[in-house]
Amino acid sequence: MRPYEVMYVLKPDMEEEATTQFIERINSVITAEGGTVDNVDKWGKRRLAYEIDEQREGYYVVVKFKGGPRVAGELDRVFKISDDILRHLIIRED
């Protein structure tokens, strides 16, 4: 299993409960595909460097996990079809 890190930015107007549920959903996608979640770091609302979809702020979350390429591919697919995500980035750590 390879170590990965994913950072994603959620829309800032989401309720706290909805934000928590989305984070849990992402973690369940990782574990359902055979990966393990090592650390979830919630940065909270931060100002964006530039406007994205007329939003000036975003809720940042960083997740470190271990898994295979299938896990990263499934995460990418889930992020692309989700309306609550402004941006995401998945990297494989060395």
DSSP 52: E
**Local confidence band at 94 (pLDDT 50, 70, 90 cut-offs):** confident
The residue to which tokens 């409960």 are assigned: 17
Positive or negative, the Cα torsion across 11, 14, 16, 20? negative
Domains and CATH numbers, the chain: 2-92 (3.30.70.60)
Judged on CB neighbours under 10 Å (0-12, 13-18, 19+), 67 is: buried
CA 47 to chain centroid, in Å, comes to 17
Q: Which two tokens stand for residue 30?
A: 């990782």
Q: What is the pTM of this model?
A: 0.90
Dump pLDDT digits (tens) for 8-54.
Answer: 999 999 999 999 999 999 999 999 989 999 999 999 999 999 999 89
